[in-house]
Structure 1
């Protein structure tokens, strides 16, 4: 059996009450920032995004705890890259840049390994 050198990571993303309280214009700015964050994660060196899931149709309101609102599952080469992915929430500007994405969303990364079903 070959041991993988990458980590299987689930970025669990929650929407905060600030997003729910925002105007439609600000919500649009948040969506643009959210899209930039997702592209930023997928463009990190060595990252292979396996899938993105959004359960916003069956979950209404802020995500105080699990279940979260959206998930990004990816293979990531190392812990530093996982941290860089989470940092997009701190550094991605929303609208005019007064606030960053983490005012409106939060992230928690779960790190594990690929589980291979035996033959």
Structure 2
């Protein structure tokens, strides 16, 4: 019997953008979206095998909606155990409820999957 080495984690950059629907909300409704974002962030962090390495929020230097593609509003860099886990993280945007809608009404996400770039000593 041979010992199979553990699979290397997949380095994943989750790129999220705030959409115009968020900015169209009355001030009294914005808190519901932030609660949904908090649930989504905790959901990603708590997925089995996920190691969040860092986050970056562009909200102080980018005001308004993100254009299609780069730049995004915020980023989560994480190691995930497999592609299915990255998909489950993205699916949180589809399933987290914000009032009568889902989080994806107010935000979109794209996951970039790769491997760690090792810097030589």
TM-score above 0.5, yes or no? yes
Indicate the structure (1 or 2) with the bigger Cα radius of gyration. 2
Match of 2:96 in 1: 92
State the SS of the aligned residue for 1:58: coil
Q: Which of 9, 17, 20 lines up with 1:17 in the alignment?
A: 20
User: Partner of 1:118: helix, strand, or coil?
Assistant: coil
Aligned positions of 1:1-119 closer than 5 A:
5-65=8-68, 66-95=70-99, 98-119=100-121
Summarize deviations over 1:49-108 as a string: whole Å, max 9, x none: 00111010000111122100000000000000000000000000003xx10000000000
Q: Partners in 1 of 2:120 and 2:26 — Cα distance?
A: 51
Cα distance in 2 for residues equivalent to 1:100 and 1:88 = 9
Question: Number of residue pairs matched?
Answer: 116
For normalisation by structure 1, the TM-score amounts to: 0.93
Gaps of 5+ in 1: none
Shift of 1:5: 1.4
Question: Which 4+ runs in 1 deviate beyond 2 A?
Answer: none
